[in-house]
Structure 1
Amino acid sequence: MTSPPRILDEIGAKLSELAASSPAKDIEKNVKAVLGSAFSRLDLVTREEFDVQREMLAHARHKLIELEERVAALEAELLRARTGESED
């Protein structure tokens, strides 16, 4: 008599074998192929490319804020200098 764990292993192996050759597996392969083909024709970016662009945009936003603050400070300084000259 075969021991219970071995029987379970054999049953599991047979089920895996059946699942691998089932029509559902073929359908899954075909759907993946169709989707892969459709996605390859679209102008999509990878997650890595997206993350790089997001980081670059965040850096550009930060730099823009710094430059806006600097321009505002220079404009205020210029205005003070002009009003100081006109009072003299």
Structure 2
Amino acid sequence: MMDRQNIDQLAQRLVSLVPPGLAQAQQDLRTNFHDVLAQGLRRLDLVTREEFDVQSQLLARTRAKVEELERRIAELEAGATPGRA
């Protein structure tokens, strides 16, 4: 998920688009924009880059292990003599 700083920056950009005559409402709008953005992003069920990287590393290790096991099985099958159970 986006971190709080990114959400704050996006909310601030939205507030900057508000006409200057509504300056007194800018803080309220900023808070509301922040809350709406945070809720919307939570519903998307996003993961952080750190979580993604951890899962990618786990997947890479799992793939390597599967490949190693497949290699060992192939070696064992190659060494087995026909007719043996």
After TM superposition, the score normalised by the length of structure 1 is: 0.54
The equivalences for 1:3-82 within 5 A come to 22=20, 26=26, 29=30, 30-78=32-80, 81-82=81-82
**Greater relative CO, 1 or 2 (CA 8 Å, sep 6+):** 2
Higher helix share: 1
* Misfit runs of 4+, over 4 Å: none
Name the Cα RMSD after superposition: 3.0
Counterparts of 2:64 and 2:41 in 1: how far apart (Å)?
A: 34
Q: After TM superposition, give the deviation of residue 82 of structure 1 in Å.
A: 2.7
Number of aligned positions between the proteins: 62
Question: Could you tell me which amino acid in structure 2 is paired with residue 73 of structure 1?
Answer: E
Question: Could you tell me which amino acid in structure 2 is paired with residue 60 of structure 1?
Answer: T
Larger Rg: 1
After TM superposition, the score normalised by the length of structure 2 is: 0.56
Q: Could you tell me which runs of 5 or more consecutive residues in structure 1 were left unpaired when the two chains were aligned.
A: 1-18
Q: After TM superposition, give the deviation of residue 35 of structure 1 in Å.
A: 1.5
